[in-house]
Amino acid sequence: MDFNDSDSIGTITGPRAEDHLPDTATAAVKIVIVGGFGVGKTTMVRAVSEIRPLTTEETMTQAGIGVDDNYGSETKTATTVAMDFGRISITEQLVLYLFGTPGQERFWFLWNGLFEGALGAVVLIDTRRLEVSFDVIGRLEERGVPFVIAVNDFPDAPCYPVGELRAALDLSEDIPIVNCDARQRASSRDALMTLMHFLHSLTRTPA
Ligand SMILES: Nc1nc2c(ncn2[C@@H]2O[C@H](COP(=O)(O)OP(=O)(O)OP(=O)(O)O)[C@@H](O)[C@H]2O)c(=O)[nH]1
Ligand SMILES: [Mg+2]
């Protein structure tokens, strides 16, 4: 797996040389990684970030039984309770700041702050649990945040043709749908590049 070590909020040490923004960077864009519970958002931010990502994961407890839907991620022991944060330079000039949202609905009130100023979103989905994505997509549409869909490659997840997925998620033809493995840096970077190309295409589309 392509993980940088991550800091939890309680264990921040000082910045390292590689944490500093490159001198060549001239533009920074805020991107949100969003999706239902356990679809791989923290995994993606960790895999792709060139700085030590910041995570706010807490151990899942007995209290979550019956509240947290962990079907498909039964071995998961921690969940995001506030946000993930990472950074990736797409070119020498362009830097993306990545914000991963909490997946559990009881923390969705935090989304308002996380979406402030965001240019776009990557929606991660798990095809074993498509239904956890419905509300997420609905909320993005309500807010008018442009997004692409990244189908996270879980080993036993059914593989649907893109047309079927588009219909099941009720997405318009222009929304890109790509496969990815959130654990792999290159694959996660490709999903982010798809979003950047999509955002660029929107600026050229006549209103
Ligand atoms: N096989 C496989 N496992 C993955 C992949 N992405 C994530 N996982 C695993 O799935 C589990 C859930 O991943 P997380 O990154 O914690 O998911 P999350 O969306 O941040 O979860 P919440 O913050 O609780 O909503 C972890 O055990 C990961 O190791 C993937 O692409 N393939
Ligand atoms: Mg998480």
What's the pLDDT tens digit per position in 52-108? 999 999 988 754 544 455 555 567 789 999 999 999 998 889 999 999 999 988 888
Give the pLDDT confidence score for residue 27 in this predicted structure.
87
Q: Which domains does the chain have, with CATH numbers?
A: 22-204 (3.40.50.300)
Under a CB-based contact definition with an 8 Å cutoff, are residues 195 and 148 in contact? yes
Residue partners of 112: CB distance under 8 A and separation at least 6: none
Question: What is the DSSP pairing of strand 84-89 with strand 94-100?
Answer: antiparallel
C-alpha 80 to ligand 2 mean position (Å): 4
C-alpha 102 to ligand 2 mean position (Å): 6
Of all protein residues, whose CA lies closest to atom 14 belonging to ligand 1? 40
* Amino acid identity at 69: D
What's the pLDDT tens digit per position in 155-199? 899 999 999 999 999 999 999 999 999 999 999 999 999 999 999
Under a CB-based contact definition with an 8 Å cutoff, are residues 59 and 199 in contact? no
- Reference 36, options 62, 65, 1, 72; nearest CA is 72
